[in-house]
Structure 1
Amino acid sequence: MDNTNQLTLEQEFKLAIYKQKINKLDNKNIKKHLIATLKQMMIKDNIIKYFIKNNMP
C-alpha cells in the first residue's frame, strides 16, 4: 500500500477538531477563514519554492 500522501494519526485528529469548529461557523466566517487559509498556503508554497531555488547549486 502506498502511504505517500497519507495523514498521520495526529493530523487526522487535528483535522477532526477543525471540522467541528468549521461546522459551528456561519457562511461569512467560513469564507473569511477559507480565504485566509488559502493565502497562507500560497505563502507556504512561495517559501518552499524560494528555498528550493536558492539552495540548489
Structure 2
Amino acid sequence: MDETNQLTLEQEFKLALYRQKVYKLNDKQVRKHLIVTLKQMIIKDNIIKYFIKNSLS
C-alpha cells in the first residue's frame, strides 16, 4: 500500500474530533460547514499553485 497519503496519528486524532462535532450538527449546519470547508480547500489549492508557479520562476 502506498504510504505517501497516510494520515499521521495527530491528523487521525483531529479527524476523530471533527467527526464527533459534525455528527452533532443538523442538516442546515452541515451544509453550511461543508461549503465553508470546500471554500477553504479551494483557497488552499490556489495558494499551493501560486507558490509552485512562482518557485519555478
Q: Fold match, TM over 0.5?
A: yes
Mapping 1:9-24, distance limit 5 Å? 9-24=9-24
Look up the equivalent residue of 1:42 and give its one-letter code.
I
- Cα distance in 2 for residues equivalent to 1:10 and 1:47: 24
Mapping 1:1-57, distance limit 5 Å? 1-57=1-57
Deviating beyond 4 angstroms after TM superposition, the runs of 4 or more aligned structure 1 residues are none
- Cα distance in 2 for residues equivalent to 1:41 and 1:29: 18
Query: Normalising by the residue count of structure 2, what TM-score does the alignment of the two structures yield?
Result: 0.95
Look up the equivalent residue of 1:36 and give its one-letter code.
V
Query: Normalising by the residue count of structure 1, what TM-score does the alignment of the two structures yield?
Result: 0.95
Give the gaps of 5 or more residues in structure 1. Answer: none
Give the gaps of 5 or more residues in structure 2. Answer: none
| Alpha-carbon shift at residue 51 of structure 1 (Å) | 0.5
The size of the alignment, in residue pairs, is 57
- Cα distance in 1 for residues equivalent to 2:20 and 2:53: 38
